[in-house]
């Protein structure tokens, strides 16, 4: 586990963007695993800026997102489809057919899980971008999720719904279920970059780096990954 401590969110995003753009330039058909939430927005802004200024091409890039709420259609402004379109995809030259996000509005959610899992099996993710929840979740894999989990349906932890309610008008609008890559899927990525900023992540980062490897802290399994970089700002790493 390589740990890079930086001053703040801006530096965290700069370094993450440097890793991603370097990889894409070296390997134009990179398969990226992508995350939503506040954490990667700075990274995505930098990728767009670099695309505009340096013409880094996404033409042959494939992307797989970690998760999606169940019950929100793609055009709902709270869906992760919408988030990704707004914060990244509409601003780069990615081919729409190379974008994969679980469909939380599928009629048969179990079938959707099986099919998304199949797609992941057929595509090795070269670089997975991850955020972390204040309870140590990765994707929507809440504490207690099996390390051997694959794509599955999750009932969201109340803390997670509360944390995510900042994006909604009120908490009862936050969906109760989501579909997420499992921990096993995440661990199959060739390389992982975990990003964390802010003091609300300090306990989760401490537990991830120094605590026991336990299903009670989903991110703790990342310590066993052979190629993981953790980029943390001063507040997130204040207990480390
Ligand atoms: P955040 O969420 O980036 O909005 O803090 C991260 C997560 O819950 O995984």
Contact indicator for 165, 69 with CB cutoff of 8 Å: no
State the catalytic residue, choosing from 67, 68, 207, 235: 67
> Candidates 129, 130, 133: which one to mutate for ligand 1, based on the most atoms within 8 Å of Cβ?
133
Ligand 1 atom at minimal distance to the Cα of residue 132 = 9
Ligand 1 atom at minimal distance to the Cα of residue 134 = 8
| pLDDT tens, position by position, 54-98 | 999 999 999 999 999 999 999 999 999 999 999 999 999 999 999
The rounded mean pLDDT for the chain is 97
51 assigned to active site: no
| pLDDT tens, position by position, 111-144 | 999 999 999 999 999 999 999 999 999 999 999 9
> 38 CA to middle of ligand 1, Å?
6
> 201 CA to middle of ligand 1, Å?
9
Pocket of ligand 1 (CB under 6 A): 37-39, 131-133, 137
142 assigned to active site: yes
At 23, is the pLDDT very low, low, confident or very high (cuts 50, 70, 90)? very high
Q: What is the DSSP string of the chain?
A: -EEEEESSHHHHHHHHHHHHHHHHHH-TTPEEEE--SSTTHHHHHHHHHHHHHH----TT-EEEESEEETT--TTSTTSHHHHHHHHTGGGS---GGGEE---TT-SSHHHHHHHHHHHHHTS--SEEEE---TTS-BTTB-TT--TT--SEEEEPPHHHHHHHGGGSSSGGGS-SEEEE--HHHHHTSSEEEEEE-SGGGHHHHHHHHHS---TTSGGGGGGG-SSEEEEEETTTTTT-
User: Is pTM, for the whole model, over 0.85?
Assistant: yes
> 203 CA to middle of ligand 1, Å?
14
Domains and CATH numbers, the chain: 2-227 (3.40.50.1360)
């Amino acid at each position: 586990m390589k740990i890079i401590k930086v001053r703040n969110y801006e530096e965290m995003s700069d370094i993450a963007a440097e890793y991603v753009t370097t990889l894409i330039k070296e390997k134009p058909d990179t398969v990226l695993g992508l995350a939503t939430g506040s954490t990667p927005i700075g990274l995505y802004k930098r990728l767009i800026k670099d695309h505009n200024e340096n013409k880094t091409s996404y033409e042959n890039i494939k992307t797989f997102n970690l998760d999606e709420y169940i019950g929100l259609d793609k055009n709902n402004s709270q869906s992760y489809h919408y988030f990704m379109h707004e914060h990244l995809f509409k601003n780069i030259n990615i081919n729409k057919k190379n974008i994969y996000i679980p469909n939380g509005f599928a009629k048969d959610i179990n079938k959707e899980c099986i099919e998304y899992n199949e797609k992941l099996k057929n595509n090795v993710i070269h670089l997975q971008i991850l955020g972390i929840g204040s309870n140590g979740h990765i994707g929507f894999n809440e504490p207690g999720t099996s390390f051997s989990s694959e794509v599955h349906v999750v009932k969201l932890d109340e803390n997670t719904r509360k944390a995510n309610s900042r994006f909604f008008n009120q908490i009862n609008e936050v969906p109760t279920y989501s579909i997420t890559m499992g921990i096993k899927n995440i661990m199959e990525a060739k390389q992982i970059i975990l990003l964390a900023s802010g003091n609300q992540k300090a306990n989760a980062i401490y537990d991830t780096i120094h605590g026991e490897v336990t299903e009670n802290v989903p991110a703790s399994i990342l310590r066993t990954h052979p190629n993981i970089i953790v980029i943390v700002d001063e507040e997130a790493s204040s207990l480390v």
